[in-house]
Chains A and B, each alone.
Chain A
């Protein structure tokens, strides 16, 4: 009887200790994965032309912060950034060990438009929204009056590679007797492009290659075919 009692007494205790240990172990494992006490050493930001400092400030994470401030909260931080920065279209924040990586995609800015004293910004669909300050990170539209036309041009501009897009300084709607859809693009590299609205997107893709053939700055005429010539008197 005594013997039986002993075993009976031993068993639950062993089981309970084991269970408790299992609990503690699982907590330990969770803590090991979580590692809330670990300090973040690096914050990598990849955000196109948006300055790294701006992104870091808006996310609110800097080296020296603790892991618990980020762990499991990536999605929240992503939303926070999207809300605070209207230039950001997509964000992905990931945490590996003590490194936080923030990848943010820039919203395509199709350009700026001024009506009276008010500046408007155009998004990739050509929708206009009032802005108080122009940062110049997109072409200026001049000479346009038709909203449909602005939309079409904005869409064409948005479809271009960023490299080419950021080289366009100004787009002027300048119809003449030969071409009622004529656009004049003043490029930041000093060349002037003549283009037709319908073929703007298709032909501007080759811009980098076309200007490589030019010996000096000048006019690139993409209205019909494509040819280029230096400016008069230069």
Chain B
């Protein structure tokens, strides 16, 4: 009711109405202005928030098709392909006699005997089985696992037989050229169906899983209108990126080879070995046994676990180095003080030395060299449980390292009872991964700076060559001082040098390297009880080489060897250590910098001519400068893109341009130069530049045309 009255009384609020009107007008004006502008914009450009309206209208009448992205490759540090794409085929046979081709010829299996005969040879399925399937009264038959996942080779062989009615479904697959090599690191994919019913690959193990999203790329959507195959590419397919690992193929091959010998010789339950650059954290070679063949998946059922960062275990005496480092850092290390070795009683529970009761009084230095548990139980008690625990944390045990492999374990520890606390000082009652152990030892190798191990050197876009991700050295902690680290290294060298040192087998003094190492023999607990006997132990070694200015850290562990092929298990481990470490050391800086011929082009814009030339030459590229003064204003291959070593990069500066010596240039390099120097080039012959019409060094001004003659090199 009131409402009505109010409206009738409208005249009395004219003044206010005016005010309101004015405000409304101003407001509406702006709104109309903005909306009107927007309308014109939409009408003019037919685009709303980057959505093309014309295209959207067309889309309604269009068919969509998913364009699967090509999965990226996995490469080693030299650019060798470790994982590539391929296709596999599932075979089936059409028996339905109604199936004919467009031209009316039969499109089902006609001569069943002949087909069964020929296919049985290729597929390795018995003739009888095949024939029985082909004569069944089904419309279409498959032939079990042996006719699935056929390689391109097998597919081509069967295709060549020209059998009617034999058909294939193809699906993408992964091909691993090196078969078992580094299988747990490279990983594995499986194929799954996407929403459009197409098969795509997804990583399920190793780098394939860890870097799945970047390897995978993004499927595109292609649209077509009716029968006209017009393609308006709206959702462009984004192919997967290439992942380059830090692995060095040559070192990896040697390691694989030696680990095969070790594993076969010892009949162990499992074994793992990792070689890492001490200063960078790059893992240059790593493998484990048992392994599997990613192409056939042979051996996969018993080897799902990646032992580097998933298989946590009680490391045993390699942990003593950490206790030692803590004791030195805390001023609790008195190498010449003595104690009674053999057994030591903690609240009724015994700490026992592996070498037995006959060794009597030992110094603490000997306790480390000879790996005495009793000595380290005393050290732990001198440190105090909470101080020792703080070092376990400072060295970043019980935490994931975050290295480039999936499903990492963080490890665990029992630390309630004094006996447990003592146990952890020599690597029992604490479970760690090889990755954590290696990471902790980097602090000893690098003057107290602990760095993270890593495997992915870089991720690059295969189409543009642009580096999307660059792996780098990451310092994660600083648990001890540089002087402590130095002392620990020298004590580790003692374990190799002392006559009764447990790591003397690893000495490289004959070839001039001082090795610093610590061995470990750890008991394995199953169901709360430690297993007995040497065949139930984990035997391991951690070595830093060389002691002065360390380059590599290597860890090898073998679990439950059933056979001891040598007098001492450390000799068996040394048969892996020695050839691999020598190869690494002898390759010298080459292998540290990875001998790749795919290099990243430095960005030299803004640098002086000499600086730019130097930077490009250091990267392994040839340089040709156009100009004689000033700074670089352009480069023909931009910075941070990949290029092949030896390729020519043109850089532009200011000042006068002279004609270069074109000998051994390719045609397109000559053309590029001509384009940049604004000179017409006339090319004859083929191959590499041999003769030129204008002498090198002549100023370019006044030259309208330069002829270059090419000749092939053989």
Please report A residues at the B interface, Cβ cutoff 8 Å.
Answer: 5, 8-9, 11-13, 16-17, 19-20, 23-24, 26-27, 30, 46, 48-49, 51, 53, 72, 74-76, 90, 105-106, 112, 114, 133-140, 142-143, 161-164, 166-170, 172, 184, 186-192, 205-209, 211-212, 217, 219, 231-232
Residue of A nearest to B16 (CB): A13
Going nearest first, the 6 A-B pairs with the smallest beta carbon separation are A169-B666, A136-B672, A23-B27, A189-B646, A16-B20, A136-B671
- B643 & A186 in contact (Cβ 8 Å cutoff): no
Q: Is the pair A8, B6 in contact by a Cβ cutoff of 8 Å?
A: yes
Closest residue of chain B to A207 (Cβ to Cβ) is: B644
A114–B20 alpha-carbon span in the complex (Å): 75
Residues from chain A with a CB closer than 8 A to the CB of B598 are 163, 208, 212
Asked whether, in the complex, the Cβ of A76 is within 8 Å of the Cβ of B20, the reply is no
A23-B30, A49-B637, A208-B79 known; A188 and B666 CB under 8 Å? Answer: yes
B382 proximal to A (CB < 8 A): no
Contact, CB under 8 Å: B647 / A23: no
Chain B neighbourhood of A232, CB < 8 A? 714
Q: What chain A residues lie within 8 Å of B52 (beta carbons)? A: 75
The one of A5, A170, A212 that contacts B687, using a Cβ cutoff of 8 Å: A170
Minimum CB–CB distance from B40 to chain A (whole Å) comes to 11
B595 at the interface (CB under 8 A from A): yes
Tell whether B464 is near chain A: CB-to-CB under 8 Å.
yes
- Pair B673/A136 contact, Cβ less than 8 Å: yes
Docked-complex contact A27 and B647, CB < 8 angstroms: no
B464 / chain A contacts, CB cutoff of 8 Å: 48, 105-106, 162
B463 contacts across to A, CB distance below 8 A: 105, 161-162
CB proximity of B654 to chain A, nearest CB, Å: 15
Known contacts A162-B463, A219-B714; decide if A20 and B13 are in contact (CB<8 Å): no
**Min CB gap A94→B, angstroms:** 9
Which residues of chain B (54-77) have a CB below 8 Å from chain A?
A: 75
- B residues with CB within 8 A of A: 2, 5-6, 9, 12-13, 16-17, 19-20, 23-24, 26-28, 30-31, 34, 38, 41, 45, 47, 50, 52, 75, 78-81, 84, 236, 242, 462-466, 595-598, 634, 636-638, 641-648, 664-675, 683, 686-688, 710, 712-714
Partner of B9, one of A8, A13, A24: A8
Nearest chain-A residue to B594 (Cβ)? A212
Q: Nearest chain A CB to B632's CB is how many angstroms away?
A: 12
User: B41 near A72 (CB under 8 angstroms)?
Assistant: yes
Residues of A within 8 A of B5 (CB): 8
Of the candidates B50, B79, B648, B686, the one whose C-beta lies within 8 Å of that of A75 is: B50
Between A and B, 26 residue pairs with Cβ closer than 8 Å are A8-B9, A16-B24, A20-B26, A23-B28, A23-B30, A23-B31, A30-B34, A46-B466, A49-B636, A51-B634, A75-B52, A105-B463, A136-B668, A136-B672, A136-B674, A140-B667, A162-B463, A163-B642, A167-B644, A186-B666, A188-B646, A208-B598, A208-B644, A209-B78, A211-B644, A231-B713
Contact check, A169 vs B34: say whether CB atoms are below 8 A apart.
no
Point out which of A17, A27, A163, A232 has the most chain B C-beta atoms below 10 A from its C-beta.
A163
Q: Chain A residues near B672: list those with CB within 8 A.
A: 135-137
B6 touches A11 (CB 8 A): yes
Contacts A13-B16, A189-B645 given; indicate if A24 touches B686 (C-beta within 8 A).
Answer: no
What's the Cα separation between A169 and B79 when bound, in Å? 21
Which of chain A's residues have a CB closer than 8 A to the CB of B34? 27, 30
Secondary structure at the A interface, as helix, strand, loop or mixed, is: mixed
- Is A189 touching B647 in the complex (CB atoms < 8 A)? yes
Chain B residue with Cβ nearest A111: B668
When chains A and B are docked, how far (Å) is the Cα of A5 from the Cα of B20?
18
Most chain B CB within 10 A, of A48, A106, A188, is at A188
Q: In this complex, what residue of A is CB-closest to B21? A: A16
A72 to chain B, nearest CB (A): 6
Docked CA distance A76–B23 (Å): 35
Known: A23-B30, A188-B669, A211-B645. 15 other contacts (CB 8 A): A9-B12, A20-B23, A27-B30, A49-B637, A137-B668, A139-B667, A162-B462, A167-B647, A169-B665, A186-B687, A206-B80, A208-B79, A208-B644, A209-B75, A232-B714
| In the bound complex, CA of A220 to CA of B223 (Å) | 41
Q: Which of A143, A162, A207, A209 contacts B465 (CB 8 A)?
A: A162
Q: Are B646 and A209 in contact (CB-based, < 8 A)? A: no
Q: Which residues of B contact A209 (CB under 8 A)?
A: 75, 78-81
| Residue in contact with A186 in the complex, picked from B79, B671, B688, CB distance below 8 Å | B688
Cα A68 to Cα B13 in complex, Å, equals: 41
Determine the distance from Cα of A27 to Cα of B29 in the docked complex, in whole angstroms: 11
Given the known interface contacts A30-B34, A161-B462, the answer about A186 and B712 at a Cβ–Cβ threshold of 8 Å is yes
List, in ascending order, chain A residues with CB within 8 A of B12's CB: 5, 9
Bound Cα distance from A27 to B33, whole angstroms: 11
Distance in angstroms between the alpha carbons of A219 and B642 in the assembled complex: 23
- Chain A residue numbers with a CB within 8 Å of B647 are 166-167, 188-189
Which residues of chain B come closer than 8 Å to A212, judged between CB atoms?
78-80, 595-598
- Shortest CB-to-CB span from B229 to chain A, Å, is 13
B675 interface neighbour in A134, A139, A169, A188, Cβ under 8 Å: A134
In angstroms, how far is the closest chain B Cβ from the Cβ of A224?
Answer: 16
Please measure, in the bound complex, the distance between the C-alpha atom of A136 and the C-alpha atom of B31, giving whole angstroms.
53
Contacts of A217 in B (CB 8 A): 646
Bound CA–CA A163/B610 (angstroms): 25
Q: In whole angstroms, what is the CA distance A187 to B31 when docked? A: 62
Among A24, A48, A105, A106, max chain B CB count under 10 A is at A48
CB distance from B468 to the nearest CB of A (A): 11
For the complex formed, measure the closest distance between the CB of B678 and the CB atoms of chain A, giving whole angstroms.
9
CA distance A12 to B18 in the complex (A): 12
Contact of A27 among B31, B688, B710 (CB under 8 A): B31
Flag if A166 contacts B637 (CB, 8 Å). Answer: yes
What is the CB-to-nearest-CB distance from B43 to chain A, in angstroms, rounded to a whole number? 13
- The chain B residue with its CB closest to the CB of A141 is B667
Within the assembled complex, what's the spacing in Å between the Cα atoms of A203 and B668? 22
Shortest distance from the beta carbon of B311 to any chain A beta carbon, whole Å: 31
